[in-house]
Chain A
Amino acid sequence: AQSVTQPDIHITVSEGASLELRCNYSYGATPYLFWYVQSPGQGLQLLLKYFSGDTLVQGIKGFEAEFKRSQSSFNLRKPSVHWSDAAEYFCAVGAGEYGNKLVFGAGTILRVKS
């Protein structure tokens, strides 16, 4: 069965520092991969997605992610974190018979210190 692991429950970074959030997936075929962000009291917002092609994908808010098949990873990165990036981040893989449902990881809470 498809699954997603986000090894870090919490991460704290200083404002202006770089960020990397880890995501590992388990899926038999070429996966559809996603990163979502959830701000407190809000719904989820799509940051970026990977379906095929270039393994480095750009998203909104200055985020990018790199798909590494050999490591079954899809880590999210940002070169310089802003205080407004503090939120919870969810990695997800497309799954299901028709690839039409999302399987989420447990999330990583990002704290930004000034």
Chain B
Amino acid sequence: DTAVSQTPKYLVTQMGNDKSIKCEQNLGHDTMYWYKQDSKKFLKIMFSYNNKELIINETVPNRFSPKSPDKAHLNLHINSLELGDSAVYFCASSQSGGLLREQFFGPGTRLTVL
């Protein structure tokens, strides 16, 4: 009965590799988000999709590409991984309505780039 799930939970990889993180929500929400939490625990939004349409695209390297195959899924693909990409990535979802609607967060994916 997990609400927002992410896979994998841990990801260790070498610089230069390409990797994906998957996110799924079973709450029936139509808006999904990706956040990055750096080593200092600073949490910052990266992307947001509403009904599979990109609505927030912060200043993020274009090596990061979100993909939303349907309203329940928002995957994050990262090309040419760099050391600075090491972080915890959180997926979240909400109903439409902006911040009037609570965002529900997944457990996070800890990415370590060696």
Contacts and interface: CB of A to CB of B under 8 A. Distances in A.
In the complex, which range does the number of interface residues on chain B fall in? 20 to 34
A45 B102 CA distance: 10
A45 B90 CA distance: 12
A101 B45 contact: yes
Contacts, number: 55
Contacts of B108: 41-43
A106 B103 contact: no
A31 B105 CA distance: 22
A51 interface: yes
B99 A41 contact: no
B27 interface: no
30 contacts: A41-B107, A42-B107, A43-B4, A43-B90, A43-B104, A43-B105, A43-B106, A43-B108, A44-B43, A44-B92, A45-B105, A46-B103, A88-B41, A90-B43, A96-B56, A99-B98, A99-B99, A100-B48, A100-B55, A100-B98, A100-B99, A101-B45, A101-B56, A101-B58, A102-B45, A104-B42, A104-B44, A106-B40, A106-B41, A106-B42
Interface of B: 4, 40-45, 48, 55-56, 58, 90, 92, 98-100, 102-108
